[in-house]
Copies of this chain bind each other. A is one copy, B any other.
Amino acid sequence: MIEFNKLDKAKDLMAAYLVKNNLKTSQNRNIILRTLINSQEHLTSEELYNLVKEEIPNIGMATVYRALRLFCDCGIANELNFQKSKSRYEPLLDIKHHDHLICKYCSKVIEVCDEEIERLQEVLTEKYDFIMESHKLEIYGLCKECQTN
């Protein structure tokens, strides 16, 4: 059984995008990409910046932002806006659309998927002659662990 390698797939996606847009490869961007993909969390730009800084001490915040925008354009990452004025980013590879349960107390994010809700959303939008391009469902509350505290 061959283990699927997310990072390689991300690199391929990015390489194709770079070629298509006449952009150049860069060491820094590759490291930012690896750091984002290997982290299983939904990082803020600042968290990602701090992680990357361990490897590239003099990296600039702007470089991280520019890389993140490029990853979103490639389809490698997704920008999430759970709360005002602080974006988080999630790798997008080979995951179906999913929703988020967000714990208000520990800030943990649980990814969930419900086919029936997805289907009903389509029915709902059709009722309004609305063409759905994307959607997000966020449920805020108290996770299992925080309930005991």
Binding site for B on A (CB under 8 A): 79, 81, 83-85, 87, 99, 101, 103-104, 110, 112, 114, 116-117, 120-121, 124-125, 128-144, 147
Partner of A142, one of B104, B133, B137, B138: B133
Query: Which residues from chain B contact A125 at a C-beta distance below 8 Å?
Result: 101, 139, 141
A130 touches B141 (CB 8 A): yes
Query: Which residues from chain B contact A133 at a C-beta distance below 8 Å?
Result: 104, 140-142
Partner of A139, one of B83, B121, B143: B121
Q: How far is the CA of A99 from the CA of B124 in the complex (A)?
A: 10
Q: How far is the CA of A147 from the CA of B125 in the complex (A)?
A: 13
